[in-house]
Amino acid sequence: MMERLTRLIRQLPIKWKLMLGATTLMFLLFATYNFSQYLVLKQWMMNQEKDKIQVSMAQLQDFLNEKSNTMDTLLITEARPYIEKMIGKNQLVRIIGKNGEPLLTVSNHFDENWVTPRTVEAPELFDTTHQEDHILIYRSPFITTKYVGTLEFASNLETFDHFSHTLFWVMLIGGVLAVFISAISGLAIARQLMRPIRALAATIRSVKEKGLTERVSNIENGDEISSLAQLFNELMNQLEVSFRQQKQFVEDASHELRTPITILEGHLSLLNRWGKSDPEVLDESLQASLQETRRLKGIVEELLTLTRVETHLDSEINEPIQIEPVIQETLKRFEVLNPEFLFQVNTEKMRDALVSISPLHLEQILLIILDNAVKYTMQDRRIVIVGQRLINEVQITIEDHGIGIPQDELPYVFDRFYRVDKARNREIAGSGLGLSIAKQFVYKYQGEINIRSKENEGTTVIIKLPINQIMK
Ligand code: ATP
Ligand code: MG
């Protein structure tokens, strides 16, 4: 039974849980508070009534003591006017003789038969009920020289009862109202709280059904739940972008791979048809096929490098190294391969800067850029390399005086497979992946790469890498 109830509560929507919790808490608080307040008040009022009756008793005893020398059975009637004066509404006063016989009874709105006269040895004070009525009785032995008996006071606690009843009802109704109000407001608050969550859930559902373009709409700024929705939207944006990029990449890659494969296929069928008998065709087609195969291999290798940098497969932490010797070394080897070029190198100023980078990656970046500088230069074969130390970074600039890049194409040269003006580039081999690989590497090391160029004047590539520390 209990188990079933807890399971039922656990399955309730959060809205109802919150409401139920608030209401129960409110009920418990109100019930304990009101009940104890009621008890304390009632006790206090009862004590007041008892005090009053004790004071009256003391006054009467004083009066009788004063008169005691004259008092006897007959003269006891003398006390009547005094008692009539002091008695309150709903009260009874009795003077009782030694054998329990009432000598004098005075009452005010009080039925004598409700209390039977009785003598006592010691004072007694208690409350009893008579049918509907609540009666407080105080009896006290009273002894003077001529008289031995009991004084009896009774008081009908009508007003007291009436008051405590009213109090009880006021508190009960107040409590019920409070619980009711807290239930309603708890429900309202819960509904308010749940609205963004429900919107979020609805969006997630529609993402599942309709795809990545769905977003949570009208987020009210403010609380944690709406920032959760915000976060979800941002996550979806990122997902959508990277999804689109991935798709673009696959499309570009398969397109780029198709060209050399088509050429290969053409040469192979040429060979198949004529090559067996014609040694000239055989030679030419074999040469061309080999070249295309090499190109294919190059593209595949570059693609592999690119994905490897992107997925951070080799993301080990690098020791800070002096990069100046690495640059010198790379340049020396590159110079040997391109003897017709003039290299002007000035890297003095960055000699004492240490950068956390893998020397192999740095070399790869430099080779990609130097390769471009050489590839896209026709006449002025000067290449200027300058290394500088800025405040928190080193800057390497590589400047050529080649054909340059048109202004409106500059933003795209870092895109994969992007090549400026395919017609112009037809004679120059390349897959358009070099700069995007260089960019990935530089970004991996929290650096920056920029390109400045003017058509027919030259191109400058600027690389910035954060300095790890400076040699003493
Ligand atoms: P890959 O480097 O993959 O063999 P690629 O050189 O064509 O091929 P990127 O290095 O990415 O590819 O360069 C993209 C394009 O930017 C080049 O095709 C070229 O048009 C232009 N470009 C890059 N560097 C220079 C440069 N120094 N001078 C003129 N144009 C350049
Ligand atoms: Mg290149």
Those residues with Cβ within 8 angstroms of residue 319's Cβ, 6 or more apart along the chain or in another chain: 356
Q: Closest Cα to residue 72, out of 149, 177, 169? A: 149
Domain boundary among 281, 311, 341: 311
Residue 46: domain span: 2-165
Domain boundary among 294, 311, 328: 311
* Angular region, 21: left φ>0, alpha ψ -120 to 50, beta rest: alpha
**Predicted local confidence at residue 96, as pLDDT:** 87
**Predicted local confidence at residue 316, as pLDDT:** 67
Residue ID of nearest Cα to ligand 1 atom 24: 372
Give the long-range contacts of residues 134-142, CB within 8 A, separation 24 or more.
Answer: 134/158, 134/160, 134/161, 136/49, 136/50, 136/53, 138/50, 138/53, 138/54, 138/57, 140/57, 140/61, 142/61, 142/64, 142/95
Residues pairing with 383 in the sheet? 343
Residue 319 has which token pair?
A: 């020791």
Query: How many domains are contained in the chain?
Result: 3
In a domain, 178, yes or no: no
- Cβ of residue 432 lying under 6 Å from some atom of ligand 1: yes
Measured between alpha carbons, how far is 183 from 243 in angstroms, rounded to an integer?
A: 47
In a domain, 116, yes or no: yes
**Predicted local confidence at residue 422, as pLDDT:** 65
8 Å CB contact between 449 and 462: yes
User: In 88-238, where do the E strands start and end?
Assistant: 91-96, 102-108, 124-130, 133-143, 148-156
For position 406, which CATH number holds? 3.30.565.10
Chain segment 251-267, per-residue pLDDT in tens: 878 877 888 898 899 98
Q: How confident is the model at residue 383 (pLDDT cuts 50, 70, 90)?
A: very high
In a domain, 129, yes or no: yes
**Predicted local confidence at residue 218, as pLDDT:** 67
Work out the end-to-end distance of the chain between its first and last CA atoms, rounded to an integer number of angstroms.
78
Give the percent of the chain with pLDDT over 70. Answer: 94
Distance 366 CA to ligand 1 centre (A): 13
Chain segment 279-295, per-residue pLDDT in tens: 888 888 889 899 889 98
CA 87 to chain CA centroid, Å, is 72
8 Å CB contact between 401 and 450: no
| Phi, psi dihedral angles at 405 (to 5 degrees) | -125, 130
Residue 108 in 3-state DSSP?
strand
> In a mutational test of the pocket of ligand 1, which residue from 368, 372, 401, 405 has the highest number of ligand atoms less than 8 Å from its CB?
372
Pair 305, 341 in one domain? no
Whose atoms come closest to the Cα of 374: which ligand? 1
Atom of ligand 1 nearest to the CA of 451: 24
In a domain, 195, yes or no: no
Is the predicted pLDDT of residue 397 greater than 80, yes or no?
A: yes
Residue 441 in 3-state DSSP?
helix
Pair 276, 374 in one domain? no
Is the torsion defined by CA of 438, 443, 445, 451 positive or negative? Answer: positive
Distance 317 CA to ligand 1 centre (A): 30
Measured between alpha carbons, how far is 229 from 231 in angstroms, rounded to an integer?
A: 5
Pair 25, 144 in one domain? yes
- Cβ of residue 459 lying under 6 Å from some atom of ligand 1: yes
Q: What integer is the mean pLDDT of 449-461?
A: 95
| Phi, psi dihedral angles at 171 (to 5 degrees) | -65, -40
Pair 454, 380 in one domain? yes
In eight-state DSSP terms, residue 271 is: I
In a domain, 172, yes or no: no
On average, the pLDDT of the chain sits at 86
Pair 32, 58 in one domain? yes
Residue ID of nearest Cα to ligand 1 atom 4: 430
Q: How confident is the model at residue 308 (pLDDT cuts 50, 70, 90)?
A: confident
Is the predicted pLDDT of residue 313 greater than 70, yes or no?
A: no
Pair 93, 120 in one domain? yes
In a domain, 36, yes or no: yes
| Phi, psi dihedral angles at 450 (to 5 degrees) | -135, 160
Chain segment 147-166, per-residue pLDDT in tens: 778 889 999 888 888 888 89
For position 128, which CATH number holds? 3.30.450.20
Pair 298, 370 in one domain? no
In a domain, 213, yes or no: no
Pair 7, 108 in one domain? yes
Q: How confident is the model at residue 207 (pLDDT cuts 50, 70, 90)?
A: confident
Q: How confident is the model at residue 472 (pLDDT cuts 50, 70, 90)?
A: low
For position 281, which CATH number holds? 1.10.287.130
Pair 334, 265 in one domain? no
> In a mutational test of the pocket of ligand 1, which residue from 401, 413, 436, 450 has the highest number of ligand atoms less than 8 Å from its CB?
413
* Angular region, 458: left φ>0, alpha ψ -120 to 50, beta rest: left
Residue ID of nearest Cα to ligand 1 atom 25: 372
**Predicted local confidence at residue 221, as pLDDT:** 65
**Predicted local confidence at residue 394, as pLDDT:** 95
Pair 358, 298 in one domain? no
Chain segment 1-19, per-residue pLDDT in tens: 888 888 888 888 888 888 8
Q: How confident is the model at residue 329 (pLDDT cuts 50, 70, 90)?
A: very high
Residue ID of nearest Cα to ligand 1 atom 23: 372
**Predicted local confidence at residue 71, as pLDDT:** 53
Pair 106, 246 in one domain? no
Residue 419 has which token pair?
A: 């090549």
Is the predicted pLDDT of residue 378 greater than 80, yes or no?
A: yes
Distances (CA, A) of 309 to 43, 120, 306, 442, 465: 83, 107, 5, 10, 17
Domain boundary among 165, 192, 216: 165
8 Å CB contact between 247 and 253: no
Chain segment 164-181, per-residue pLDDT in tens: 889 889 988 988 898 888
**Predicted local confidence at residue 371, as pLDDT:** 94
Chain segment 44-74, per-residue pLDDT in tens: 999 999 999 999 889 888 888 877 665 555 4
8 Å CB contact between 352 and 381: no
In a domain, 249, yes or no: yes
Pair 295, 335 in one domain? no
